[in-house]
């Protein structure tokens, strides 16, 4: 008898719940009609809170203000700010009129800001004046002459923000209703930049349909209802905050709680306790900081039942403590990427702890996943490693104005190739085992070494540079630069490299370790062997025990 072929590494997400066909604005209005008197948004630092009815009034006023300023459907509005209520207001106001919200990473420096403003064609930029050590207003003034398409700059907390809102007061509701009615769920509504392997970030362009449904189904798998209150310490500029956080809440009538503008473990724990949050989000680094806070035991976290941990691999012991000490018995692990809105696989509330600490779950509702041989593109059998691919409603429209790069990522059958190595087991659960490319995930931030290498090449004493990820207890991975010096130059220290990068690269892109070498490990064909560099670095830095730590 012929041998029966192995079950293919393919899975589709079955669901009795249909996809939403709404635009974000229409879906938001349905929630307001159903749950108008319930809490919608709490900004702890500002001391502000809104019911859904109050939030809708603010959103509509801002939408009218955008229209009065001349912002129309398809035009790009940038947001450059840490987490605050105004971020959320702008997210829904732009969705109501069909303007495309461009998320700008608060850690960006001037040259990164300039690139994004020009590449996306941002017409209006809404920004905080400053945050921590970042002088946003100063950097905007620095790049503005080089951004001819940027017509309006609105700084939060200043007269320009007040003026934008005031210009929308008394707007005709029929005008806004007409604008909403002219929108399609398939229209682009959001551009999120991901670090690029060529040294420049790419703008993943997402539709109403992409992100509204992803937020909704992530919320469904967390069993959200209007009774839930979700603490969101993860950044809004990323899908984790604005999709899995905000859109998961508004599509269920749940309350969004902003504990602080940036992550602060004390503020997060205090917010959960004071607001009786039922769900808490974070990357493993955040949960580790919360669990290790000296005042952890003083906070009443008894309201928690669920939450999401994503962004980087979760150490097994951290997951167990989140369940045991924080009471998050239904905590969910999610896996995805910005290009897939973001979540592709997720653990379920009834999954065993073993599943939640050893896999990233199984494919989400209405989505497909497969694992393919990277060389042939053919689907491999269950239990065989290969590249993870995703298809369905969540796959982005494409990279903004970069069709060639879009075609490299999304094949003719609309499968998104993640670049991640994975294994799918007999039950469809996925384990991420590595990355085909050299991307480093540091504390939930995707970092592409090529971008940093190209910057290091600009140092007058560096002949060549290779950047790799090495294991790290706190961040999952940390950056290490191997450098070759020009003849006669003094060897560089890690401190000197950090000083060179300071203020020019986002903080999470600055290498922690530097190793000066005469030559890099090479293959016979002349390619740098980064796998060998990582192996040597683990020994060199004494990270053997960290490298052996088990992760989900």
Residue with the bigger pLDDT between 486 and 277: it is 277
Per-residue pLDDT, 79:
98
Domains present along the chain, CATH in parentheses: 1-17+366-437 (2.30.38.10), 21-262 (3.40.50.12780), 440-548 (3.30.300.30)
Q: Please report how the helices 284-291 and 316-326 are oriented relative to each other, as an axis angle in degrees rounded to 10.
A: 50
Q: Which helix (H) or strand (E) holds 112?
A: helix 110-120
**Alpha carbon of residue 143 to chain centroid:** 25
Per-residue pLDDT, 479:
96
What would the pLDDT profile of 198-244 be if each residue is shown by its tens digit?
Answer: 458 899 999 999 999 999 999 999 999 999 999 999 999 999 999 99
Alpha-carbon distance values, 146 to 113, 114, 139 (Å): 11, 7, 12
Contact 434, 388 (CB under 8 A): no
pLDDT (average), residues 68-80: 98
- In the sheet with 202-207, reading across from the earlier edge strand, the strands are 152-155, 122-127, 76-80, 100-103, 188-194, 202-207, 398-399
Cis check: omega of the bond before 133, within 30 degrees of 0: no
* Residue 550 pLDDT level (bands cut at 50, 70, 90): low
Residue with the bigger pLDDT between 433 and 521: it is 521
| Lowest-pLDDT choice from 38-42, 272-276, 443-447 | 443-447
- Phi first, then psi: give them for residue 372, nearest 5 degrees: -120, 155
| Lowest-pLDDT choice from 157-166, 175-184, 503-512, 522-531 | 522-531
What would the pLDDT profile of 281-338 be if each residue is shown by its tens digit?
Answer: 998 879 989 999 999 999 999 999 999 999 877 777 788 899 999 999 999 999 999 9
Per-residue pLDDT, 551:
53
Per-residue pLDDT, 146:
98
Per-residue pLDDT, 300:
98
What would the pLDDT profile of 149-187 be if each residue is shown by its tens digit?
Answer: 999 999 999 999 999 999 999 999 999 999 999 999 999
Per-residue pLDDT, 318:
86
* Residue 453 pLDDT level (bands cut at 50, 70, 90): confident
Q: Is residue 520 scored above 50 in pLDDT?
A: yes
Alpha-carbon distance values, 131 to 82, 84, 198, 504 (Å): 7, 12, 29, 16
* Residue 436 pLDDT level (bands cut at 50, 70, 90): confident
Angle at 443 between CA 351 and CA 237, to 5 degrees: 90
Question: What letters, b where the CB count within 10 A reaches 16 and e where it falls short, cover 510-523?
Answer: bbbbbbeeeebbee
Residue 77: how many CA atoms within 13 Å on its side-chain side? 30
Q: Is residue 344 scored above 80 in pLDDT?
A: yes
pLDDT (average), residues 55-66: 98
Q: Mean pLDDT, the chain, as a whole number?
A: 93
Per-residue pLDDT, 198:
47
Angle at 189 between CA 185 and CA 194, to 5 degrees: 130
Radius of gyration of the chain (CA): 23
The dihedral through the CA atoms of 189, 190, 196, 200 has a sign that is: positive
Per-residue pLDDT, 141:
98
* Residue 447 pLDDT level (bands cut at 50, 70, 90): confident
Per-residue pLDDT, 4:
82
Q: Which string of DSSP letters, residue by residue, matches 116-181?
A: HHHHHTEEEEEE-S-BTTB-HHHHHHHHGGG-TT--EEEETTSHHHHHHHHTTTT--HHHHHHHHH
Q: Which of 344, 284, 276 is nearest to 305 (CA)?
A: 276
Report the C-alpha gap between 286 and 309 in whole angstroms.
Answer: 9
pLDDT (average), residues 267-271: 98
Q: What whole-number percentage of the chain has pLDDT above 90? A: 81
Report the C-alpha gap between 31 and 188 in whole angstroms.
Answer: 22
Per-residue pLDDT, 3:
79
Report the C-alpha gap between 260 and 272 in whole angstroms.
Answer: 12
Alpha-carbon distance values, 162 to 139, 312, 425 (Å): 22, 39, 55
pLDDT (average), residues 10-17: 97
The number of residues in the chain equals 552
Per-residue pLDDT, 86:
98
Per-residue pLDDT, 446:
72
What would the pLDDT profile of 463-489 be if each residue is shown by its tens digit?
Answer: 888 999 999 999 999 999 999 898 899
Per-residue pLDDT, 1:
65
pLDDT (average), residues 339-363: 93
Q: Please report how the helices 24-35 and 85-97 are oriented relative to each other, as an axis angle in degrees rounded to 10.
A: 120
Contact 46, 85 (CB under 8 A): yes
Say what the pTM is: 0.85
* Residue 5 pLDDT level (bands cut at 50, 70, 90): confident
Contact 268, 294 (CB under 8 A): no
Q: Which string of DSSP letters, residue by residue, matches 9-40?
A: SEEE---SSPPP---HHHHHHHHHHHHTTSEE
């Amino acid at each position: 008898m012929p041998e029966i072929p192995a079950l293919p590494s393919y899975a589709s997400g079955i669901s009795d719940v249909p996809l939403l066909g709404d635009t974000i604005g229409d879906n938001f209005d349905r929630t307001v009609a159903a749950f108008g008197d319930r809490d919608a948004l709490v900004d702890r630092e500002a001391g502000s809170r809104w019911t859904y009815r109050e939030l809708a009034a603010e959103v509509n006023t801002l939408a009218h203000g955008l229209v009065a300023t001349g912002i129309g459907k398809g035009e790009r509005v940038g947001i450059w700010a840490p987490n605050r209520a105004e971020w959320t207001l702008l997210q829904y106001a732009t969705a109501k009129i069909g303007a495309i919200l461009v998320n700008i990473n608060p850690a960006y420096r001037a040259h990164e800001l300039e690139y994004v403003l020009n590449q996306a064609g941002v017409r209006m930029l809404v920004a905080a004046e400053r945050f921590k050590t970042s002088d946003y207003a100063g950097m905007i003034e620095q790049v503005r002459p080089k951004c001819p398409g940027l017509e309006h700059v609105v700084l939060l907390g200043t007269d320009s923000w007040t003026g934008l809102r005031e210009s929308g007061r008394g707007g005709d509701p029929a005008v806004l209703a007409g604008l909403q009615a002219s929108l399609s769920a398939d229209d682009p509504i959001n551009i999120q930049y991901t670090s690029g392997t060529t040294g420049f970030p790419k703008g993943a362009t997402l539709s109403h349909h992409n992100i509204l449904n992803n937020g909704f189904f992530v919320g469904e798998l967390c069993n959200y209802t209007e009774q839930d209150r979700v603490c969101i310490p993860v950044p809004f500029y990323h899908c984790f905050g604005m999709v899995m956080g905000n859109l998961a809440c508004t599509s269920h009538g749940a309350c969004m709680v902003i504990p602080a503008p940036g992550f602060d473990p004390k503020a997060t724990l205090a917010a959960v306790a004071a607001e009786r949050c039922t769900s808490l989000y974070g990357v493993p680094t955040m949960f580790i900081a919360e669990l290790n806070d000296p005042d952890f035991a003083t906070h009443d976290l008894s309201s928690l039942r669920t939450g999401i941990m994503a962004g980087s691999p979760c150490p097994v012991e951290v997951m167990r403590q989140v369940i045991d000490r924080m009471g998050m018995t239904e905590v969910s692990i999610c896996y995805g990427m910005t290009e897939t809105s973001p979540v592709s696989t997720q653990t379920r509330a009834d999954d065993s702890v073993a599943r939640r600490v050893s896999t990233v779950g199984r494919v989400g509702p209405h989505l497909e996943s497969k694992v393919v041989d990277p060389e042939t593109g053919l689907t491999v059998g269950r239990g065989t490693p290969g590249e993870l691919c995703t298809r369905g409603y969540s796959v982005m429209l494409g990279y903004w104005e970069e069709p060639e790069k879009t075609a490299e990522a999304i094949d003719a059958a609309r499968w998104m190739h993640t670049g991640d190595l994975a294994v799918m087991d007999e039950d469809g659960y996925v384990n991420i085992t590595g990355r085909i490319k050299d991307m480093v995930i540091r504390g939930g931030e995707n970092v592409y070494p090529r971008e940093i290498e190209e910057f290091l090449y600009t140092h007058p004493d560096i002949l060549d540079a290779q950047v790799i990820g090495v294991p790290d207890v706190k961040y999952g991975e940390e950056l290490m630069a191997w450098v070759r010096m020009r003849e006669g130059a003094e060897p560089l220290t890690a401190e000197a490299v950090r000083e060179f990068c300071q203020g020019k690269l986002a903080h999470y892109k600055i290498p922690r370790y530097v190793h000066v070498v005469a030559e890099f490990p090479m293959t016979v064909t002349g390619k740098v062997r980064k796998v060998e560099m990582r192996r040597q670095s683990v020994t060199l830095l004494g990270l053997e025990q960290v490298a052996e730590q088990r992760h989900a």
